[in-house]
Structure 1
């Protein structure tokens, strides 16, 4: 019995190689996607903690205090909501790194998982945020300013600008 024709052997080797590469991508992509989501989650949590620390600092220091933050974000959507006095972050989650229906407060951040999405919220009861802004991936300047105490509302008024 003779050996395989070199052309047939080459085609078989290429087909087996392509199948192995395809299998590697199918197994590896979910792992890479999950890792990216975990990094985005941690980045957002760190950014929210940075904003929260700046807010607490300017409230403590009194009227006229100001902080200029430089944030680098690589995904998700951040929102400063003046109506509810909240800082909100929302990200898509294909890998569901935070279980749907799970909600807990970690480091003052309310983290909630829903199907395909994770939301992180910092709420303020003693602060009146006067501005609304939204930003997503990129480099951002966030300026937090203490505009003084409002005796009618009983809250410290903060201006927050994003550029």
Structure 2
């Protein structure tokens, strides 16, 4: 089974995404295949870095400046998204070149694995929200307070909604309540929510809530990973 490798460039922003492949399967992939895949990816990375440099030069030269660039996308496919000023390079390979859900950034060029998640500010039903989205889910989380000004918090109010894109429906969240050590007094207090990293083409998105309750001060981390159809919820102190 082949997995997608994607380069993404936003004037120029580049990334590539490699799906997870089991170690057992990888043992059967010939070394030469992995070498060829690595060489193709490295060549395109160099091309995108050069394109990034050229675009910066043209932008600095002012109106009317232009360059002609020749790119051979083979063995992959090149896509251009004019609305978001993004260039994608998709390459199908069975070789595991990168660990899933990892990324590296070189200026405006991003290289990574499973970069299909976005994280941004938004709204839901009239409420300020942080929005995490991948191929399967759209998650809306309460956006309130900040590190300087705490707001009243109830853990039942943190997760506003989850939309399942495959089913085209919102999930039932009426019974969601987060406590520590089964203590009711840990579910209320004051604090704030914040987004770990905003942007598109991320391996995962995380929104955290700092809860200062009378029982304990702690963090709740809501994480949506690329390719998953579930939300991870973790409590840390």
After TM superposition, the score normalised by the length of structure 2 is: 0.34
Pick the structure with greater CA Rg.
Answer: 1
Q: TM-score, normalized by length of structure 1? A: 0.49
Q: Bigger relative contact order, structure 1 or 2, given CA contacts below 8 A and separation 6+?
A: 1
Instruction: Tell me which protein shows more helix as a share of its residues.
Output: 1
